[in-house]
Structure 1
Amino acid sequence: MFSGFLASSPGSPLSFVSVVVATYLGNLLGALVMYFFGERILHFLKRSRFPFLSALYQEENLHKTLVWFRRYEFVVVLLSRFSAGIRFFVSIVAGMSKMNVIKFVLLYSIAISLWCGLLLLGGSVLGANWNQIVVMLSYYNQVIGFIILCLFLYFLYQIKKKRNTKLT
């Protein structure tokens, strides 16, 4: 947002196009690093000699996660940019699931364009009042965080319910 404001300010050495390109490249390169990290992490976890790392690797749970991701990868990658808590992990899981890298780049590019484009445009349009977006994003992040927390708790509840059913 602040970059959008700076680029649109009179006399600014930044052009709006340069800010858009830098934002796009930074986001995409970061996502690709995490994607390729995700591609290689399974091999590392399987062979880890450290108990805390090998404990992270549970074949059944990982398989379920990757099957779910493959089923919804289109939507998950597109919407991942809209949640700070998810965007980091989606690139890793995309790599772990061996999602086609070109498909990943295309979907992630659309997501970057939408989310970052809105923020840059908002900073540009609001000018010196760009910080109002920060206030709105604070509320947005609280709502998204609450929804993610509820989903996580529901997921834990389902796991506990399933385990109790198996024990009886």
Structure 2
Amino acid sequence: MQSLVDWVVRLTEILGAPAVGIAIFLENVFPPIPSEVVLPLAGFTVSQGDLNFWSTLIWATIGSVAGAWLLYAIGALVGAERLRRVADWMWLVEVSDVDKSLKWFDRYGGASVFIGRFIPGVRSLISIPAGIDRMNLLTFTLWTTAGSAGWNALLIGAGMWLGESYDVVEKYVGQYSTVVYSILALIAVGVLIYLIRRSRKKKKAPADSEDTTK
């Protein structure tokens, strides 16, 4: 992590605020680069007078949106039809599940993209289902920009407020991430249990119908 900090510092010394945008773009497409390290460090640099808050926020948000566009494009290349074909041979998953998910995303996609930008681990990945669903690009961009700007401003502001203790942000975001991942894991287990039960019911249904015809 220290090598990452040193790299961001060197890049910032050379490029200024655009360096933050580059780092956040890479964070979107390569999650091991955490925004909870880069942005508070940028905020600390702002507090020292070496960067301007607004230019840093703007460049960080540009980096976020550019990274989100790339992942959106990957999702669009995968496409719903290819996803349906994958679901057709996957265990427990049905083609109708893809259609239901896309229908849900049609209805709540904008809010999902916005909220997703505040959830570590989900921040980047939420762009992929948006691309698969071929969500209107302007709508996607607006929601992504709003969510990204909020998250970026929060972490840059925290770094400015904490000063030399900016690395404390990583600790608290890590705790927040642990809670989020635990909730997501519970949801995943619940979905898996549901799919297993559904599969068993469908296998049992033909047997029951055969018994009634004898």
For this structure pair, what is the TM-score category when the shorter chain's length is used for normalisation?
Answer: 0.7 to 0.9
The residue aligned with 2:47 is 8
Q: Confirm whether residue 27 of structure 1 aligns to residue 64 of structure 2.
A: yes
Gaps of 5+ in 2: 1-39, 205-214
Q: Distance in 2 between matches of 1:16 and 1:124?
A: 9
Query: Tell me, which stretches of 5 or more residues in structure 1 are unaligned?
Result: none
1:85-130, CA deviations, whole angstroms, 9 ceiling, x for partnerless residues? 2222211111111111111111111101111110011101111111
Moved more, 103-112 or 85-94: 85-94
Return the alpha-carbon distance in structure 2 between the equivalents of residues 69 and 146 of structure 1: 23
Equivalent positions of 1:77-116 (< 5 A) are 77-116=113-152
**Which has the greater radius of gyration?**
2
Equivalents in 1 of 2:146, 2:80: separation in Å? 30
Secondary structure, counterpart of 2:121 in structure 1: helix
Which structure has the higher relative contact order (CA within 8 Å, separation 6+)? Answer: 1
Aligned residues: 162
Root mean square deviation, CA, Å:
2.4
TM-score w.r.t. the length of structure 1 is 0.86
Letter in 1 for 2:58: V
Q: What is the percentage of aligned positions where both structures have the same residue?
A: 25
Report matched runs for 1:126-165 at 5 Å.
126-165=162-201
CA contact (8 A) 2:80 2:132 kept: no
Asked whether 1:39 is paired with 2:65, we answer: no
SS at match of 1:164: helix
Q: Match for 1:15: what amino acid?
A: N
